[in-house]
Amino acid sequence: MQSRVGSLVKLRNLLTASRNFLSFPKTLISTTSLLFPPATYSTICQAQEESVGEYVRDQPKSSEEILKNWGCSDTDISKMFTRRPALRNADLDQLQFKLNILSGLGISASELVKIINCRPRFLSYRINHCFDERLEYFMRLFESREVLVKAIVKNPSLLTYDFHDKIKPAIALYEGMGLSTSDLTQILLSRPTLIPRTSFNDEKMEYIRKTRLSNHSTMYKYVVAIIGISRLETIRQKVANLEKFGFSEDEIFGLLARSPLVLTLSIDKVQRNMTFIIGKMKLPAPVILEYPFFLYTNLEAVLKPRVFLAEKMQEMGLDLQIKGPVMLTALRMTEKRFLKAFVNCHPKDVADELMEFYINAKGVKRLAEDYSKKNFQQGFPF
């Protein structure tokens, strides 16, 4: 019995020793791995490491640095940051990406300044949406990269307007009204806001028909564009304003056919110029049908001073007088030419007197003119 018990004790000790022996390598491996960590070997040579380091160091650290690398001067950058302060903290990758797009179009640093001045948030917008399709479409329309860049500088939103819902439908409207590609190019350059402001209805189409212009007429594209971007209520008010001076509907639309820009003049300007022409110059109202420049001429800087100077010359009994057909010519002259023809041609004492009178006449301003310019912003004129 004792021998059996002894045998069992020996067997137990043997099994315990075996378990300890089998577990020993695990403990050994764990310990050695802590004491001697596995070696790692780099496959990058020293020269490669240096080039990677230089690449990282060469990456622009700010939007100012990106703009400088793109070709902008310190003055250009200052102007853009003043107009759009948030540009200082722009996402660098996005900014670089957008500048690369503009470079591909051929836009220069000076042109970018004009774009930011016109649309301060331009670089915050997405300009790569349908970009290839948009570029192809505009190249067919403008026919050259130079004209396209000129159009973009005038209206940067050409790159941000919805291509399918805004640009194509607006252009299609004008094409449907008989405007050619060259016509569209001209009006897009002269009326940069043409695309977002265009709308036509039956009443506007009737106004166009009343001008009796064919789609081959030189003035047709301008009439269509100005009526297209004008508010309907504004057109009604401007037509009614001319009717107050005794013009018939046929005369008004005949005037618009010959000089479409009359429709862009404010009601106040037309009223003031017409009042001066009829009241002070004693000319009949229909004179503007033959000479529309009377409506465009600046009342305070040109019409009044030159008419008053003509009266002064008459009072002084000078041989040279400004009246009749000469008055029509004098009112259309540049300032330099006018002074040479009617002031500086006299003896010095007379010329000095006339010049002083002329300067004083130009210095007379309308009541509250300065206040209105400082405190109010003129909106879109039509």
97-121 pLDDT, tens digit per residue, is 999 999 899 999 999 999 999 899 9
- Output the pLDDT for position 363: 79
> Which residues touch 167 (CB under 8 Å, ≥6 apart)?
134, 137, 158, 161, 195
Are the beta carbons of 125 and 160 closer than 8 angstroms?
yes
- In the predicted model, is pLDDT for residue 4 greater than 50? no
Amino acid of residue 371: Y
Euclidean distance between CA atoms 151 and 214, whole angstroms: 27
For helices 131-142 and 145-154, angle between their N-to-C axes, nearest 10 degrees: 110
- Output the pLDDT for position 40: 46
- In the predicted model, is pLDDT for residue 30 greater than 90? no
pTM of the model: 0.74
- Tell me the per-residue pLDDT of 259-297, one tens digit each, with 9 for 90 and over: 999 999 999 999 999 999 999 999 999 999 999 999 999
Q: Which residue has the tokens 């917008």?
A: 125
- Output the pLDDT for position 127: 87
Are the beta carbons of 273 and 294 closer than 8 angstroms?
yes
Tokens representing 230 are 């004008």
- Over residues 59-75, mean pLDDT: 89
Binning pLDDT at 50, 70 and 90, where does residue 45 land? low
**b/e for 308-329, b at 16 or more Cβ within 10 A?**
bbbebbeeeeeeeebeeeebee
> Which residues touch 329 (CB under 8 Å, ≥6 apart)?
none
Name the average pLDDT for the chain.
Answer: 83
- Output the pLDDT for position 371: 42
Task: List the helix and strand counts (H, then E) for the chain.
Answer: 23, 0
The enclosing H or E element of 310 equals: helix 304-315
- Over residues 337-364, mean pLDDT: 92
**Which candidate, 39, 37, 92, places its Cα nearest to that of 62?**
92
Amino acid of residue 99: L
Binning pLDDT at 50, 70 and 90, where does residue 31 land? very low
- Over residues 159-187, mean pLDDT: 93
Q: Give how far Cα 209 sits from Cα of 177, 249, 250, 253, Å.
A: 12, 12, 11, 9
Are the beta carbons of 267 and 241 closer than 8 angstroms?
yes
> Which residues touch 139 (CB under 8 Å, ≥6 apart)?
145, 148
**Which candidate, 200, 298, 217, 202, places its Cα nearest to that of 260?**
217
DSSP string computed for 315-378: HTT-SS---THHHHHHHHS-HHHHHHHHTTTS-HHHHHHHHHHHHHHHH---TTHHHHHHH---
Are the beta carbons of 228 and 200 closer than 8 angstroms?
yes
Length of the chain: 382
Residue 368 backbone phi and psi in degrees, to 5: 65, 20
Tokens representing 327 are 């008055």
- In the predicted model, is pLDDT for residue 125 greater than 50? yes
Residue 97: CB atoms within 10 A of its CB come to 12
